Amino acid sequence: MPNLKKSLAVAVLAAILGAGALAIWFYWLEPTAPFVPPRMVEIEPGESFRAVAAVLSSAGVVRSATVMLMYAEATGDARRIKPGDYAFHGGERIPDVMRHLVAGDFVVVTVVIPEGLTVHQIAERLSAAGLVCQPEFEDAAERGAIVRALGLMPLGAEGYLFPATYKFPPRITIDEILLAMLARFYRVLTPAVEERMFKFGLTPRAMVTMASIIEKEAKAPGERPLIAGVFYNRLRIGMPLQSDPTAEYSLDKAGSAADAVRTPSAFNTYARAGLPPGPIANPGLSSIEAALYPAQSDYLYFVARDDGTHVFSKSFDEHKLAIAAIKRATQHAATHGAPRVEHRAN
């Protein structure tokens, strides 16, 4: 009987060891599923490999932090990895991941997309970073498969490419870049935002269009809600928005023209009442919030000072007085002629 118990104990131990070896073998050699878009992992200088393994496991880049730690210690690679920003596409085993970390490849390209850029300007930045061919990116953003699938036709992704600092792998595709930027925008459309749009009677396109105009008009951040209020007041009484940036939008790719407000265009809000057919830029969160929560006022006009702030007026007579006062102040301060005064929302 004692021999039987001993034999059973040995068998159980062997089974446990065998299962453990099988698990280690699985975690080591079985690749993860592919990721779209790539998953970003930042490794800080001096960070312990135990912490690195935990981060990679949490991101789903490896299946087991423990097995990765065992592998790295056994190979000596734990002390050879390079810090930096990495982008992983998935579909790799622990040895593959370790090879990237030791070689320092998959380091990402950082691209800053400020608020208020157009698709054309974003394409220029991405091209300058060596990530895309500019015409191909613009074509994909205007009429590619992704924008068609999201129902953004016929105007494309203008307005929906969320401004942010992005970290992309050098070999990322145009569609993956668009997915990353569009995903950031759609995360803004929370249930609370959708409820607010419903209350205002705004479609997502109308909301983003208004936000894009606010983004281009506002220079002082605190004035965004006031500017939004002016435009909503004008919409309510059927008065044209008369926004210079909308008139200039159709000429964006060729550069702005001084006579843009006199150029016929579906986006020219001097010639047409109501919102233009779509966004004129890609607005940031502050302008989106202003479009959703405009300041309540009786203002119908505003004119820009030299410092980028505005004088707001309730009547056209007040507006003319504000323009004249700004011209006088500009002429008094100028040493070489009078700079052009902007007559926005005139």
CATH code of the domain containing 87: 3.30.1490.480
Last residue of a domain, one of 188, 220, 237: 188
Question: 9 lies in a domain?
Answer: no
My answer on whether 316 and 271 are in the same domain is: yes
pLDDT per position as a tens digit, 1-21: 544 544 444 444 344 444 445
How much of the chain is helix, strand and coil, in % rounded to 5? 50, 10, 40
> Are residues 172 and 80 located together in one domain of the fold?
no
Domain-embedded: residue 324: yes
Check whether residue 174 and residue 266 sit in a common domain: no
Where b means 16+ CB within 10 Å and e means fewer, 112-145 reads ebebbbbbebbbbbbbeeebbeeeebbebbbebe
Residues 147 and 265 in one domain: no
Q: Where are the beta strands (DSSP E) in 229-322?
A: 301-304, 310-313
The answer to the question of residue 1 being in a domain is no
Residues 205 and 289 placed together within one structural domain of the fold: yes
End-to-end CA distance of the chain, in Å? 101
Same domain, 155 and 218: no
Mean pLDDT of the chain: 86
User: Do 223 and 261 fall into the same domain?
Assistant: yes
Residue 105 φ/ψ, nearest 5 degrees? -90, 180
CA distance linking residue 263 with residue 32, whole number of Å: 55
C-beta separation of 76 from 97 below 8 A: no
pLDDT in tens, 77-127: 988 999 888 889 889 999 999 999 998 887 788 999 999 999 999 999 999
Compute the residue count for the chain. 346
260 touches 251 (CB < 8 A)? yes
Q: Is residue 16 part of a domain?
A: no
Query: Own/partner pairs for 123-127, CB < 8 Å, 24+ apart?
Result: 126/177
- 227/286 same-domain check: yes
Q: pLDDT tier at 28 (50, 70, 90 boundaries)?
A: low
Dist. CA 35–CA 54, nearest whole Å: 18
215 and 305 both lie in a single domain: yes
Q: Are residues 264 and 329 in the same domain?
A: yes
Give the pair of three-digit tokens for residue 292: 């959703």
The answer to the question of residue 253 being in a domain is: yes
Name, in order, each residue with C-beta under 8 angstroms of 274's C-beta and a sequence gap of 6 or more: 235, 241
In a domain, 252, yes or no: yes
312 and 201 within one domain: yes
Q: What's the pLDDT at 337?
A: 53
Domain count, the chain: 3
Q: In sequence order, what DSSP letters do the residues of 197-232 get, joined into one string?
A: HHHHT--HHHHHHHHHHHHHH-SSGGGHHHHHHHHH
Q: For residue range 31-89, what is the model confidence (pLDDT) as tens digits?
A: 888 887 888 898 888 899 999 999 999 999 998 999 999 999 888 898 899 988 888 98
In this structure, are 215 and 301 located in the same domain? yes
CA distances from 266 to 69, 177, 216, 276, 309 (A): 60, 29, 18, 7, 28
pLDDT digits (tens, 9 = 90+) for 280-310: 999 999 999 999 999 999 999 999 988 889 9
Q: Is residue 90 in some structural domain? A: yes
Q: What percentage of the chain exceeds 70 in pLDDT?
A: 85
Residue 21's pLDDT is 52
Q: Which of 203, 184, 198, 196 is nearest to 282 (CA)?
A: 184
Per the structure, the complete domain to which residue 124 belongs is given by: 115-188
pLDDT score at 133: 95
292: nearest Cα among 180, 185, 210: 210
Helix or strand or coil: residue 250? Answer: coil
> Do the domain assignments include residue 5?
no
